[in-house]
Amino acid sequence: MSVRPADFPPPFSNDEAIGAVTDAPDERIDVGILIVGGGPGGLACAVRLGQLLDEHPETRELLGDVPVAVLEKGKQPGSHLLSGAVMNARAIRRLFGGRIPIEEMPTYGPVHGEAVYLLTKGAALRIPPPPTMMNHGNWIVSVSELGRFLAEQAEAAGVMILPETAGQKLLVEHGRVVGARTGDKGRGRDGEPLSNFEPGVDVTARITVLAEGTAGHLTTAAIDRFGLHGSNPQIWALGVKEVWKVPKPLHRIVHTMGWPLRKRAKYGEFGGSFIYPMGEEHVSIGFVVGLEYADVELSAHDVLQEFKTHRLVRKILAGGERVAWGAKTITEGGLLSLPSKLNAPGLLLVGEGAGLVNVPRLKGVHYAIESGRLAAEAAFAALQRGEVAHRRGALDSYDASLRASYVWKDLAEVRNMRQVFDKGFFMGGALASAMTVTKGKLPPKDFDTHANADAPLIRTGRAAQYPAPDGTLTFDKLSSVFASGNRTRDDQPSHVRVQAKVPRDLAEMWQWMCPAHVYEVGDADGDGTVEVKVTPSNCVQCGAISAKGGRLTPPEGGSGPEYTLT
């Protein structure tokens, strides 16, 4: 009888992430608009709000001493941002009203050329880029650097950015969102307050924007509380990437499919790699695997290491040195997994947290920015004198504007692309081509997705193919966690919720799955279950565990990776 992660749900209820205001009035902090998440979506929202409030000081006055605040759980904006990335510049240009040329923003230049390969173990067959993958006119960026840039712009526009601050609980009263409570700091391993214990604070706001990115903690709870579930469950992929300093510059972006992933439908291995030049001296290389895979021993980190041993990749990395590593999940469900509405009384959902990612095109950064901008405009409108920001429907203009935008149009075109790969690479490929050519009109029915945690586990001895880490080309997980800049304080409560005793297959699956080596198979209990050993301080908060039977919650603010180049 094979094990399904979904049968072992985490000891966590979304109710834990929702609560009423408990701080006394002089203890709580009141802001005009609270944005949770300092990524491209949240910061674009902040920048746009800053612009609007500059143009309309009478509205700014209505919002108190701190009109706009952004909570960011990382050490600084960018610390938890990781992506490929090749970005469509249209949204960021629009955000700055054309006043800042793209050349003045932190990018690694426009895409000069593109190649797609189908790999086998020994060969690389160049194939014409699928129509969804034409990147001419797009720009190569580090989303971490972009985050730092957007944060500077937001601060210049009068926005208050609060780093090292986690959004722990959504504050809801009388059926509307009234802000968020920040996380405690200075608790010991068993939750006991240490000598420098600093309790979290209720931050109240007229409108709260959730821009938490993938596997968002408050977003997940909000969708549940306000009944905003979409038609399909949300699904994710896990991406692991490295940045390398290389002697020989790469002059085009590369995508690969095929090896080391397996094509047959029963493995459920959907994904591929990206290799992008970062200027003349660096490359960004990553591997993405959909989390509906079935094999207990599949490890995205080790698949990346294996991938690097391919002749094609060795040539690119030859003589180089790894300078960064990181991992993050990618929201993959597309249009059909989006929440039924992206707003509720006092609440707006933007970016990847809302599910706005175009998987076949590997794009999401510009949707985050565009949705952040549209959310700002809707929030601004709802805060005008005479409006009641939290009344039912006050923020519907956000959903309307998003549905009328290119974001929606793009997602509709590719809405079934990901799901058909359930049928395996070749069948999926054929269906995907049909979709592209007809711009989503064929095939006519919408395909269902299965939640990642529903996939029953199988064993195939996959781990035997992973290369032993040599410390030069291939690396083990612990040294990779170190390379992410992670130096999380050990003596704090565990932020990862998983059942403590599970069948061995499940514990092993988690052990392989997690790129940061958070889970280990512990002692057997004689009844077929084993204890799960958790080392939460390794966690880089990628979110994979939330897709596969557990639940990630935010640790103490400032914990986790300190990405700068990813």
Partner 1 sequence: MAGTLVFLETHDGELTKGGLGVLGKAAALGDAAGVVLGSGVREAAARAGAFGASTVYVVEDDALASPLPQPRVDALEAVVRESGADTVLFAASVLSADVASGLAARLEAGLNWDLTDLRLEGGELVGTRPALGDTVLVEVGWTSTPRLALIRSGTFDPVETGGTAEVKDVVASFQDFSTAATLVDHLQEASSGPSIEEADVIVAGGRGLGAPEGFTICEDLAAALGGAVAATRAVVDAGWYPYAAQVGQTGKTVSPKLYIALGISGAIQHKVGMQGSGTIVAINKDANAPIFDFADLGVVGDLAQIAPKLTELLKARS
Partner 2 sequence: MKVAVCVKQVPDAAVHKRLDPGTHRLDRSAEGALNATDVNAVEEALRLKEAHGGEVVVVSLGPEKAIESLRKALAMGADRAVLVSDDAAAGSDLLATGYALAKALEREEADLVLFGQQSSDADGAVLWAAVSDRLRRPMVSQVAELTLEGGTVTGKRQTEFGYDVISAPLPAVVAVSDAINEPRYPSLKGIMGAKSKPQDVLGLSDVGIEADRVGEAGSRTVVRSSSPPPPKSGQVKIEDDGSAAERIVDYLAEKRLI
Cis peptide before 260 (omega within 30 of 0): yes
Nearest CB to partner 2, comparing residues 194 and 388: 194
Candidate residues 472, 489, 524, 525; the one interacting with partner 1 per rule CB under 8 A? 489
User: Residue 481 touches which of partner 2, partner 1, none (CB < 5 to 8 A by kind)?
Assistant: partner 1
Nearest CB to partner 1, comparing residues 189 and 391: 189
| Interface with partner 1, residue 535, by CB under 8 A | yes
| Interface with partner 2, residue 485, by CB under 8 A | yes
Candidate residues 75, 176, 418, 548; the one interacting with partner 2 per rule CB under 8 A? 75
**Conformation bin of residue 443: beta by default, left when phi > 0, alpha when psi is -120 to 50:** beta
User: Residue 138 touches which of partner 1, partner 2, none (CB < 5 to 8 A by kind)?
Assistant: none
β-strands 202-210, 29-36: how paired?
A: parallel
Provide the b/e sequence for 497-519 (b: ≥16 CB within 10 Å): bbeebbbebbbbbbbbbbbbbbb
Nearest CB to partner 1, comparing residues 75 and 206: 75
Residue 96, H or E segment = none
The DSSP letter of residue 447 is P
Show the tokens assigned to 15. 């109710």
Candidate residues 124, 455, 481, 506; the one interacting with partner 1 per rule CB under 8 A? 481
Q: Which amino acid is at 366?
A: H
Candidate residues 478, 500, 524, 525; the one interacting with partner 1 per rule CB under 8 A? 478
**Cα(545)–Cα(541) distance, rounded to whole angstroms?**
9
| Interface with partner 1, residue 537, by CB under 8 A | yes
User: Residue 50 touches which of partner 1, partner 2, none (CB < 5 to 8 A by kind)?
Assistant: none
SS3 of 119, please? strand
Three state DSSP letters for 138-195: CEECCHHHHHHHHHHHHHHCCCEEECCCCEEEEEEECCEEEEEEECCEEECCCCCEEE
* Residues 493-532 contacting partner 2, CB under 8 A: none
Q: Considering the complex, what minimum distance in angstroms separates the CB of residue 154 from partner 2?
A: 14
**Conformation bin of residue 319: beta by default, left when phi > 0, alpha when psi is -120 to 50:** left
Q: Considering the complex, what minimum distance in angstroms separates the CB of residue 159 from partner 2?
A: 12
* Residues 243-302 contacting partner 2, CB under 8 A: none
Q: Considering the complex, what minimum distance in angstroms separates the CB of residue 167 from partner 1?
A: 24
Q: How far apart are the first and last CA of the chain?
A: 41
| Interface with partner 1, residue 491, by CB under 8 A | yes
User: Residue 491 touches which of partner 2, partner 1, none (CB < 5 to 8 A by kind)?
Assistant: partner 1
* Residues 6-35 contacting partner 2, CB under 8 A: 29
Stretch that binds partner 1, among 73-81, 154-162, 324-332, 474-482 (CB under 8 A): 474-482
Stretch that binds partner 1, among 303-311, 354-362, 414-422, 484-492 (CB under 8 A): 484-492
Show the tokens assigned to 376. 């700002």
* Residues 388-407 contacting partner 2, CB under 8 A: none
User: Residue 489 touches which of partner 1, partner 2, none (CB < 5 to 8 A by kind)?
Assistant: partner 1
Three state DSSP letters for 47-69: HHHHHHHHHCHHHHHHCCCCCEE
Stretch that binds partner 1, among 48-56, 237-245, 354-362, 485-493 (CB under 8 A): 485-493
CB 4 within 8 A of CB 455: yes
- The CA distances from residue 168 to 352, 428, 556, 563, in Å, are 19, 40, 9, 22
The secondary structure of 242-272 as a DSSP string is: EEEE-SS---SEEEEEETTS--SGGG---EE
CB 165 within 8 A of CB 79: no
Candidate residues 483, 493, 499, 533; the one interacting with partner 2 per rule CB under 8 A? 483
| Interface with partner 1, residue 490, by CB under 8 A | yes
Nearest CB to partner 2, comparing residues 145 and 332: 145
SS3 of 366, please? helix
* Residues 179-198 contacting partner 2, CB under 8 A: 182, 185-186, 194-196, 198
Provide the binding-site residues for partner 2, judged by CB under 8 A.
Answer: 29, 66, 69, 75-76, 160, 162, 165, 182, 185-186, 194-196, 198, 201, 203, 323-324, 482-485, 487, 562, 564
Provide the binding-site residues for partner 1, judged by CB under 8 A.
Answer: 189, 478-479, 481-482, 487-491, 535, 537
